[in-house]
Structure 1
Amino acid sequence: MTGDPRASSEEDKKTSKWGAAARIFVQIIYAALSATIVIAVVRIVREGGGALATVDLVKLYDQHGPAAIGIPVAGISALLLVSLARALDGPMSLDVFGIKSEGASATCIVWAILFLVIGLSFRALW
């Protein structure tokens, strides 16, 4: 080999029989896991479906409104704000209390901070 990444032979393009077997094994595992999840959801809905009829949704939302409504709204709001900031300004970098982060990690930290602030403000106002 000359070290040129563009120069490759037919032998390099072929996958080994162990690689193909591993890929097939992983696909079988994923299919079995997906089927198990579907069967579990169906069983849970069949066995616990009668319990949902006894729940008073108005009372539930009145007592647990911040958790039932506020948390999803806080997550979506934080996502929209972070997405808007990334779209307008580009990649983020963050330096808080000596912790430096750039790129995706800064975006995740900013999202978590926004989520907590918005969620706590919903809780304070509820």
Structure 2
Amino acid sequence: MTHDPRASSDEGKKPSKWKTAAAILVQIIYAALSIVIVSGLIRGFREGGGAVASIDLVKLYDQHGPAAVGIPVAGVSALLLVSLARALDGPMSLDLFGIKSEGASATCIVWAILFLVIGLSFRALW
């Protein structure tokens, strides 16, 4: 006996009431959770807002300069070097200590190594 797709019922294709109700419940929970998080952040900023005015930025950069300046500069520098290498040579391939990677994974590994090296050099020179 052959199966005629026109004769099949649409009842099996519709989601059940419970599945629809569960999906709506999950959406309500996500919405409530996001409202609680946002209201908590707003409350925290309102209560702790006076603490920001007491921070001396010159002293902060003097004590934590490598972290405040060096880390973002290291990240951007590594990104520029990796982007330049990709633009000039194309997709990367890496074989490091027996670990082989190609494409995006090799690019990520090279970026992480460059970020680490540039960050450590800033720390050593600061």
Normalised TM-score (structure 2): 0.74
Counterpart residue type for residue 103 of structure 2 = G
In the aligned structure 2, how far is the partner of 1:87 from the partner of 1:28? Answer: 46
RMSD of Structure 2 on Structure 1 (CA)? 2.6
SS in 2 for 1:44: helix
- After superposition, the C-alpha distances for 1:70-121 in whole angstroms (9 at most, x for unaligned) are 1111112212222222233222110011111111211111111011011011
Residues in 2 aligned to 1:21 and 1:38: alpha-carbon distance in whole angstroms: 26
Structure 1's 77 and 31: CA in aligned 2 closer, same or farther, altered over 3 A?
Answer: farther
| Code of the aligned partner of 1:44 | G
| Runs of 4+ deviating beyond 3 Å | 14-34
How far residue 23 of structure 1 moved from its aligned partner, in angstroms, is: 5.7
Total equivalences in the alignment = 116
- The CA deviation at 1:35 is 2.7
Q: Which runs of 5+ in 1 are unaligned?
A: 1-10
Give structure 2 stretches of 5+ with no counterpart: 1-9
Going from structure 1 to structure 2, the CA distance change for 1:26 and 1:102 (only over 3 Å counts) comes to farther
Amino acid at match of 1:59: K
- Give the aligned partner of residue 85 of structure 1: 85
